[in-house]
Amino acid sequence: MARILFLAFSGGGNLPPSLGIARELTARGHEAVFAGDPEMMPRMKPTPFRAIELTQAYAQLDKYPPGAPFGPWFCALSSPAVEAQVRSVIESENPDFILTDFMFLAALNQALRFGQPTAAMAHMAFFRVADAFRGLTKMCSDIREQAGFAALPAFDYLLFSCDRVIVTSLAAIDQALPTSASIRNVRHVGPVLETEAHVRPLHLPWDAEDSVPLILVSFSTDPVQASPDLIQRSLDALGRLDAHVVATVGTGIEARKLSAPANALIVQAADHEPLMARASLVVTHGGHGTTMRALKYGVPMMVIPGIAPDQAINGAMVEKLGAGRVLTQDASSEAINALARELLATAQFRAKAKEVAKLFSGIDGAVNAADEVDALLARGGTAIAPKLQPAADCDTRVHNLDSTV
């Protein structure tokens, strides 16, 4: 049995895939231990995994420039105080393997300093979003310097120095793998569409045999990205359709403050699996988990991207696949209504989504990710990948990628 330390990020869609991988590793006899920010702790309580709170997540927030984009997140993901606490956790836990969310820059920077095998987890279509996250890492490093701290290593150094970059997405809908020695450690294992323990199936007031189309509205569950105005505009638009509407709004929005049309049901959370199986349309922010789940069930999407850098990219991917269309955050209720009508009335969107759904057949992302961990553990318990030198190799770039779809 090996002890696997997950250095996790509680961002809405980041935690569930990590939990799915931990579940599979535990089933194989390993011990999974999580460490993450305070917001992650309530989400860990219903799970069987031990969780360590990084109490220093916001200890240096006052040092970060006021009004910096993603301010609290940047502090929790990058500050030296967090790095020091992560280092202490690794030393005290003495794990056999370290799995780190690729957005958790401070944790990556520390994990690479130890002798254990390491893997970064990218819960996104990695090569599609790589350039956006290079920019975000540089922005985060610049803000850290403005706060008076040392710069972070570049994105490519942090990621490609790991023994693996485990991508919980479909290789077939990511962009073409560039030819470069620096990315030889990237493995697409497939989506890990884990349902969190606190989420329950929703009892719908409509008969299962009802032929009226069901529309699922699911924007980000993360409070930082919460947009009650957008949800209300969507409800107002969809309330004028001959359709049933279910809106899951997450903990960042008080459902009672929203006005539900007669055809809509508003809940904090619900198991999306049975809803997707019945849905005719998903209206979403374009988070990777929701996007993958909709594609798995062959459901067309209206994507209204939020502030996270991958969401617009996912929306563009959905459009390229022919499985939906994109609107901007400021889209009017009338625009949302018109596009919903088009997506429901045009059979081609459903047909294209069903085509993509075939790509999910036989793929279990959690099993494949656990196989990668087991394979590295079997190679001797020491770090496998030759570590890059920050000054020489961290500026590697992946450019001019052609889509495989």
- Which among 221, 228, 216, 222 is positioned nearest to 329, based on CA atoms? 228
Query: Please, are residues 248 and 270 in contact by the beta-carbon 8 Å criterion?
Result: yes
CA distances from 369 to 97, 156, 186, 288, 404 (A): 13, 21, 12, 17, 22
d(CA 163, CA 118): 5
Mean pLDDT, the chain, as a whole number?
A: 89
The DSSP element (H or E) to which 166 belongs, if any, is strand 164-167
CA distances from 107 to 23, 123, 134, 384, 386 (A): 22, 16, 17, 19, 19
d(CA 309, CA 282): 20
Residue 121 pairs with which residues in a beta bridge? 101, 166
pLDDT at 179: 55
- Which among 223, 37, 71, 225 is positioned nearest to 139, based on CA atoms? 71
Mean pLDDT of 138-155: 92
Tally the residues of the chain: 405
CATH topology of domain 3-191+363-393: Rossmann fold (3.40.50)
Choice between 292 and 405, residue whose per-residue pLDDT is larger: 292
pLDDT at 178: 60
Q: Tell me the pLDDT band of 134, cut-offs 50, 70 and 90.
A: very high
Q: State the pTM of this model.
A: 0.90
Give alpha helix (H) positions in 79-210.
80-93, 105-111, 126-146, 155-160
Mean pLDDT of 265-271: 90
Please, what's the b/e burial string for 235-247 (b: 16 or more CB within 10 A of its CB; e: otherwise)? bbbbbebebbbbb
CA distances from 175 to 289, 291, 313, 320 (A): 18, 16, 11, 12
Q: What is the pLDDT of residues 39-85, one digit of tens each?
A: 999 999 999 999 999 999 999 999 988 876 676 888 999 999 999 99
Q: Tell me the pLDDT band of 400, cut-offs 50, 70 and 90.
A: very low
pLDDT at 394: 32
The percent of residues in the chain predicted with pLDDT above 90, rounded, is 75
The single-letter DSSP state of residue 72 is: H
19: which 2 tokens?
Answer: 């939990």
Choice between 157 and 255, residue whose per-residue pLDDT is larger: 157
Q: What is the pLDDT of residues 184-222, one digit of tens each?
A: 889 999 999 998 877 888 999 999 888 999 999 998 666
Q: Which part of the chain is CATH 3.40.50.2000?
A: 3-191+363-393, 214-360
* Residues 144, 150, 151, 155, Cα dihedral to 10°: -100
Residue 279 has pLDDT above 50, yes or no: yes
Residue with tokens 């535990």: 26
Q: How many CA atoms are closer than 13 Å to the CA of 49, on its beta-carbon side?
A: 36
The percent of residues in the chain predicted with pLDDT above 70, rounded, is 89
Mean pLDDT of 141-164: 92
As its CATH architecture, domain 214-360 has 3-Layer(aba) Sandwich (3.40)
Cα 101 from chain centroid? 10
- According to DSSP, the β-strands at 186-188 and 97-101 are unpaired
Q: SS3 for 246?
A: strand
pLDDT at 282: 98
Query: Please, are residues 207 and 184 in contact by the beta-carbon 8 Å criterion?
Result: no
Cα 100 from chain centroid? 13
Mean pLDDT of 309-331: 95
d(CA 349, CA 202): 26
